[in-house]
Amino acid sequence: MTGELKGERFVAGKLRSELLARTFLKRVGVPSKHVLIGPALGEDAAVIELGEELVLVVHSDPITGAVENIGWLSVHVAANDLAVTGCKPQWFTIVVLLPENASDEVVEMISKDIDSALKQIGAMLVGGHAEYTWGLSRPITSTTAMGVSKADRIVLTRGARGGDVLIMTKTAALEATSILASEYGTLLEALGMSSKEIERARSMISEISVVPEALALAERGLATSMHDPTEGGIIAGALEMAWASGKTVILHAERVSLDPVTKKAFEIVGLDPLKSLSSGTLLAAIDRELLDEALKTLSSIGVKASVIGEFRVGPPRLEVVSNNGVVEVYESPPTDELIANEERLQKRKEALEGRK
């Protein structure tokens, strides 16, 4: 490897879009005619032609910001990004990197969580790798999810059209709320949250799959585009849909659904839930003529949904309209609030525990 290893220090999280575009999205080796959808900003998965009108859909994702429930998250976060294409997740490979001092109990916990999550979505672990790795303070996983689908059923993030409405399912920041409660529960309690509220926040981990609602919309041809907002939350997810589709997305902040527990947790630690990990929320572009049918379809499987914006013909960007009508324009994604503040939260937690 050539070049300086050390450079300007960036906040942990995804690479900047311009850096990604000029490196990994550009340098892809030998192009293949069978790759229908390759690496691209805003797209959730690769789509590879198999023949006989079938395609292989593939997606990879790491989990770097959680310790508790890391196995569960490893499966569901990757599965979500496959399901938003309309393809059922079927096979998984997972790489597990462990600190040198990780106990056998940690390995047992991660493997059991992976197994439980796979059984929930009806999928199988078909390979991977696990090792003790020098320099780690906590486990890290990287998951690849795969599935086979009919080519004409695939939904692409780039498919949104001017005039489509933007809907979201469930509530924002489900994943981030669960991580906050699991990793910093003592801090939340000290800042005024009840044990019942903290337990409710922890339980949100069970809601982070969007596989049922994504497949339900895809099977009925109701969505022109779907996306799973992970890092950077609802705002980053909506912007990625704007990039992929080449449209302007108008997002009304007051319409974004928040669980009262999420709202309280984020207020007391000073973070923005709209810019925080939001696996479990599905963003979907829906033709206005099909909106009622889409909402009824989601309701029939027990999933609540809200209309939070629309797509317009215009430059690929996000315009967030606040409660007082002020418009904030995003052309690059915000830093994820939870990931960016982990060090600060950890120090507050340690200081609190040190006083006990």
Residue 12 has pLDDT above 80, yes or no: no
Residue 356 has pLDDT above 70, yes or no: no
Measured CA to CA, the distance from residue 229 to residue 175 in angstroms comes to: 10
pLDDT the model gives residue 14: 82
Joined tokens for residue 240? 């990625």
Q: Please count the CA atoms within 13 angstroms of the CA of 24 that sit on its side-chain side.
A: 10
Whole-structure pTM value: 0.90
pLDDT the model gives residue 349: 86
Q: pLDDT tier at 198 (50, 70, 90 boundaries)?
A: very high
Place of tokens 């709320």: 177
92-115: pLDDT as tens digits: 999 999 999 999 999 999 999 999
| Domains defined along the chain, listed by start | 31-153 (3.30.1330.10), 157-352 (3.90.650.10)
Q: pLDDT tier at 1 (50, 70, 90 boundaries)?
A: very low
Residue 9 has pLDDT above 60, yes or no: no
Residue % of the chain over a pLDDT of 90: 87
pLDDT the model gives residue 295: 98
270-289: pLDDT as tens digits: 999 999 999 999 999 999 99
Q: Output b/e per residue, 274-299; b: 16+ Cβ within 10 A.
A: bbbbbbbbbbbbbbeebbeebbebbe
- Average pLDDT (115-131) is 98
Q: Please count the CA atoms within 13 angstroms of the CA of 255 that sit on its side-chain side.
A: 18
Residue 180 has pLDDT above 60, yes or no: yes
Joined tokens for residue 204? 């949100």
**Which of the pair, 185 or 1, is modelled with greater confidence?**
185
Enclosing H/E stretch for 178 = helix 174-190
Contact (Cβ atoms closer than 8 angstroms) between residue 83 and residue 89: yes
Residue 160 has pLDDT above 70, yes or no: yes
Beta strands in the chain (DSSP E): 35-37, 46-51, 54-63, 91-99, 124-133, 140-150, 165-169, 223-227, 248-252, 283-286, 305-312, 317-321, 327-330
Q: What is the mean pLDDT of the chain?
A: 94
CA distances for 199 relative to 68, 132, 171, 184, 265, angstroms: 14, 32, 17, 12, 12
